[in-house]
Structure 1
């Protein structure tokens, strides 16, 4: 009877999901699967990763579009995970801490939109710019967290996982079973989430409530491999809290990761302080695009950089150099013109005062 309890719990979860018809959409670290004929796309995934060398915590928030009222999401994790709801205010604070500096820089010569080329003055902006043999499928736990129905699973055989889901009315794409195999080979576990708003008839759209996943890990890894199933370009924003500035070891098939902020912070109170822990912590903000998700070939592994060099983006506001409300170039040209005129007049006066030669006077 005890052996049947995990199976019954898992069956209860998957029978609530309608058989999959459309291809799976992927988010940055897992498979987002809509119900029935619905469509769902992850427009943006933003995650905060906290790693202290032993424990990794990932707080993730998805921005989704489409018309699906229910969906399932699967994320592999390297160790036994706990899952809880997180406070979305954390992302607001991180956005404030990492926002670019705004600076003004002057240019001398007029540009296309400056007088005398135009009567309007415009700006241009630029930026320098986480005993006994185990059963093939097991349920570690199941929780109801807001709009999320969360099951924490183990699987020792990807085909067994696929068969288990199908036997409970959930059709798993053959490709997903193939993509899961590397995780099964490494004895990873899985977080399966059913997203179903408590308000009936409400589609999954916009920013979803963030989830916080915690597991033990001696390396900082951010699962990304399942994103290769996505049908549209993907966007990942990653905030990394660690002892040092961090960087992805490789681009894993995406564009070159861009650091948008790097520096030591010490948040005071609030959800970010609770995640970061006591004392200062180094924050690295990374942005990456995946124009062709099919090229993703690994998970992100992040490592410490050689130096904890701080960095903050700057957005420049270019302005025509003015002196007393008058363009500096105009004053300069005027001054040069006055100087040239004065020199010419002085030369003429000097020539006029020179005595004429005697021979010239007699003639």
Structure 2
């Protein structure tokens, strides 16, 4: 295994051992490169070896008790780039080509499906073009989804209704969709929720998004209860130490927000547009300060939104109004 990894990374065993001993993120990325290499079925050209070496994280030695300058988010991104680089090379080999003979039609076909996932290979592709290991071809722009304009409220409610009622959809994605479309939660915050943030007293269910916890309407209550029960059957959530509501595949880690976005889009939920539509509707129904506190938003954000929408709560002052 060490010899295989050294062949891919184009380094000596001594270099690899020294790097692994110094830096945990580099060691994790190296492990991902090794796993990717074992599944790679194409020819092992010099470009393949140098590609994985290029994708290895450039991290300083870890400080005592830490993981160095390359944090977990960087490590996760690097692992995804390595995985997609290997997937692209395998996919290209199945088409009877190597990276040196890749054509524009190949890149277009690669990006046609699963664009959000396959875009991770672009780090490798740009490097290959820059170092003349492949021809200079056109890549799709980094910003693919113009996902900022809010949905019309009728459309948001129709998508929400389908997520709540369509039992053919994955349960995890349906629960996430409810949190995005009802409570305007960004996926980066959704993946940080834990099972302890779901408060179930047997009669009602609430989720701790801010202060106070937000009660769930009955259809969402049933969905969340069913999901928490089924969640225990996931192999990567079986450990008692995994308290994430949306556990990731790495032990003790939450789901990657990019992965959750992909799952939401696969069931027809645009995360950013749906969230924007939800928060704009909510600030028209209650004071911005109240919404901000309950849903974990900054009060300036909700105040700005209600002012733009021309809501009647624009001049509401937070505080105790019972005196």
Shorter-normalised TM range: under 0.3
TM-score by length of 2: 0.22
Q: Which of the pair has more CA radius of gyration?
A: 1
Higher helix share: 2
